[in-house]
Amino acid sequence: MTLVSTKESTKTAHPKSLLSIVASVGGLALFLIIASTLLVSQPIGSTIRGFFYGVDSLAKIDPEFSLGSSVSESNHTVHPFEGLLKRNLTVPENRGPEGFTQHGDKESVKSGGADGNGPVIENNEPPISRNEDELSDSGSAESKNLKPNPPLAKVTQKDDGNSSSFSHTASQENAPLSSTNLQTELKNVESTSSATNSSQSNHVDSGCDLYDGKWIYDSTGPLYTNNSCPVLTQSQNCQGNGRPDKDYENWRWKPSHCNLPRFDAKKFLELMRGKTLAFIGDSVARNQMESMLCILWQVEVPKNRGNRRMQRYYFRSTSTMIVRIWSSWLVHQTPEPFDFAPAGVVKLHLDAPDEHFMDYITDFDVIVLSSGHWFAKQSVYILNNEIVGGQLWWPDNSRKKKIDSIEAFGVSVETALTAMGTHPNYTGLTIVRSFSPDHYEGGAWNTGGSCTGKVQPASEGELVENGFTNIMHEKQVTGFNRAIKKKTNKSKIKLMDITRAFSYRHDGHPGPYRSPDPNKKTTRGPDGRPPPQDCLHWCMPGPVDTWNELVFEIISREFDDTQ
């Protein structure tokens, strides 16, 4: 009796369990349908990325995820992808002495210009669009430095990707933002974005003149920071030395008929695979060499293989070597007495190249050659085994000088380039960087000259013509052209003519921010005299980085032609 009741009870229980299961499955299915609908409208992946990274798109983490315009057509929002992956190494500051110094080289020297009052100089130490309208001339954020008008506005791109703000000059700050003004501002954003995007391409039309153009403001920022480059000379570390402004880091050079690509360190190392690039010259050449190292350092830390005669940095991934050799004048020099010139005064043999770099040129694939400022230093000029002139030295006014320091510079350029162009075993590419302008206004380095307070490129009306710079550039080009006519080997010699373009960059020098000393003078004194300052070398990062973008472009053109 009990058994039968149990069986009946079991038979009755099974249908109830089955109904419970069906109800549970149905409820779960309904939940999944509702949850799926919610997830489609609000993707959880975006929410998670936003929580951990503070962004809502992979394109904001990796630029490779965004191949289109950086300006949203719907709301004109600028997305500043560039630089988010840039390394931010924390390194100790170089603690070099204040002023114009060079690591491991001889003592600092202060000497005058051609008239004895020149600048302070130191001792040893896919295809790009060619549409000219891409950077609109009407209201775009440009420094029309090679045009009559100064920049009217700058575009500041915010990292949150949700807004763009505009910083105006004083004449515009209080102007109401009308509909017309708003359209103009939006064009400014698109113009700068176009410049940034187009500059990412790898090649420029080889027929484009790289040296005719203007400076444009690009808020993308520099290729590195003063804290991400451990080889940056302290006297050029403007931010580390307390300079309060940094817009000078954000102006890019825009050729008139094309766009100069932004430097791509990985592609540069690949282009230079198995090759050596040498910078030869004075402290400004060192300035450029360190800029190149700072840029490349962001993708690979090189191995230092240098010695006292030659700085050498080796990039293992592509077996690329970056070299620097000090050569003050590019010609042979001796301290021994010669004729009526006593010992102790440097004798320059203007018709003999400097053997300190000539002994190595066959090992170099690319040489960046630069000089000029040391012709302001005391020296004796010897030509055809005869004393023909001197700078800040001459024993007797009854003796007539045959050449001055400016003529001597032109002869030195011709001598060095002729030696390189006729060397039977040199087949490399020589890039001659033209004379780098200084910006001591109101006097020379030691007579009250100053570049203090310059915070953006000069407009056409602000440009101060420098007669010394102009004549030095002229003599350099003359020496270059004469050497080209004498060339007999298979090497190539190219002029990188930066002088005119950089005459507008009076904002790019350290000025009084030459050291981290918290007590240094940075303003004029009660007598109106400016503080000691450097208006010759260049801040890093800063305009000097453009020189290496130009070097990259010249190398790309030449190597592509060869291939």
Residue 429: give its domain's CATH number.
Answer: 3.40.50.1110
- Return the CA Rg of the chain: 31
**Tokens 């009796």, residue?**
1
Q: How far is CA 398 from each of CA 226, 345, 395, rounded to the nearest angstrom?
A: 53, 20, 9
Residues of the chain falling short of pLDDT 70: 1-23, 25, 31-206, 561-563
The upper half-sphere exposure of residue 558, i.e. CA atoms within 13 Å in the direction of its Cβ, equals 20
The DSSP bridge partners found for residue 367 are 278, 430
Q: Hey, is 113 helix, strand or coil?
A: coil
Quote the number of domains for the chain.
Answer: 1
Which pLDDT does position 527 carry in this prediction? Answer: 85
Which pLDDT does position 396 carry in this prediction? Answer: 83
pLDDT digits (tens, 9 = 90+) for 34-54: 655 544 444 433 333 333 323
Residue 109 lies in a domain: no
3-state SS string for 323-339: EEEECCCCEEEECCCEC
CA 122 to chain centre: 21
CA atoms of 459 and 148, how far apart (whole Å): 7
Cis peptide before 244 (omega within 30 of 0): no
Catalytic center residues: 283, 534, 537
What's at 379, amino acid-wise?
A: S
Strands 366-369 vs 331-334: parallel, antiparallel or unpaired: unpaired
Domain that holds residue 345: 215-561
DSSP assignment letter at 258: S
CA 294 to chain centre: 9
Residue 80 lies in a domain: no
Which pLDDT does position 299 carry in this prediction? Answer: 98
Strands 347-353 vs 331-334: parallel, antiparallel or unpaired: antiparallel
Residue 241 lies in a domain: yes
pTM value?
0.68
pLDDT digits (tens, 9 = 90+) for 360-371: 999 999 999 999
Which pLDDT does position 446 carry in this prediction? Answer: 74
**What residues have CB less than 8 Å from 58, skipping those under 6 apart?**
49, 65
Largest CA distance in the chain: 148
Residue 195 lies in a domain: no
Q: How many CB atoms lie within 10 A of CB 65?
A: 11
Residue 451 lies in a domain: yes
**What residues have CB less than 8 Å from 375, skipping those under 6 apart?**
114, 329, 391, 405, 406, 408, 409, 412, 472
Burial class (CB in 10 A: 0-12, 13-18, 19+), 4: exposed
Q: Hey, is 401 helix, strand or coil?
A: coil
Residue 226 has phi, psi (to 5 degrees) of -65, -20
Q: How many CB atoms lie within 10 A of CB 282?
A: 25
Residue 48 lies in a domain: no
Which pLDDT does position 36 carry in this prediction? Answer: 56
Residue 156 lies in a domain: no
Residue 32 lies in a domain: no
